[in-house]
Structure 1
């Protein structure tokens, strides 16, 4: 295989240079703020295995651009709330960095949890169990 023009790590670094990153302790402190919407982009199996941030919206990475776009047949009203601050997260902050960069390119304002759900757990953030359906 030929060397790639851009590595995944380079893409994450470039995304992080142009998006807002939220520290874990800061998001934990925002948990009672009704204007903050936490969006979990991890796979459903990750959520079932490790739990989720209480009250977070699950929006699988593979669908997020369609769920955010009001012109898409897959649009979700959860992403059309006025005056809300959206903070996306994945397990380690890589997928969410790329996601937020893409959403900003679309014109959707959002931030991401810098170090992801794994750090959330390490720093004592609340976790709810997700049952298998």
Structure 2
């Protein structure tokens, strides 16, 4: 028997995008050295090793996000306990849209994500930190 999926990922992403802030590549590029922002890379370590990351981005695997944000979690990371704007990205802005929405729902604020994700970032020839140095 097939599963009876009630909503699609595409619908969930569209719903999240309607409720969160989306930054253009140029807007995000201007934040690289900002002391008031934390850029969060949600991609898997294999993706990071293969393609690099936005310079200075904090790596948080998508599966750990909620646990690292919640101060009551034994996995909490202090980086998520700052008075800063959190800017999420992934490969194509689907995971980051859902992540920004979840983070916002948890009370992390303000949050945003980067339109087009790392794919758009690389295509725009924005700076990339090579992790093989």
1:106-121 equivalent positions in 2, closer than 5 A:
106-109=106-109, 110-121=111-122
| Corresponding residue of 1:70 | 71
Residue range with higher mean Cα deviation, 42-51 or 26-35: 26-35
Q: CA deviation at 1:36?
A: 1.3
1:1-20 equivalent positions in 2, closer than 5 A:
1-20=2-21
* SS of alignment partner, residue 111 of structure 1: strand
Between the aligned partners of 1:36 and 1:104, the Cα distance in structure 2 is 15
| Corresponding residue of 2:54 | 53
Between the aligned partners of 1:32 and 1:44, the Cα distance in structure 2 is 23
Q: CA deviation at 1:60?
A: 0.3
* SS of alignment partner, residue 38 of structure 1: strand
1:15-94 equivalent positions in 2, closer than 5 A:
15-82=16-83, 84-94=84-94
How does the TM-score come out when normalised to structure 1? 0.93
Between the aligned partners of 1:11 and 1:4, the Cα distance in structure 2 is 12
Q: CA deviation at 1:131?
A: 3.5
- Give the alignment's Cα RMSD to 1 decimal: 1.3
Between the aligned partners of 1:2 and 1:118, the Cα distance in structure 2 is 31
Between the aligned partners of 2:125 and 2:32, the Cα distance in structure 1 is 13
Between the aligned partners of 2:47 and 2:106, the Cα distance in structure 1 is 27
Q: Deviations over 1:101-125 (max 9, x none)?
A: 1111111121111210011111121
Unaligned runs of 5+ in 2: none
Between the aligned partners of 1:32 and 1:77, the Cα distance in structure 2 is 19
How does the TM-score come out when normalised to structure 2? 0.93
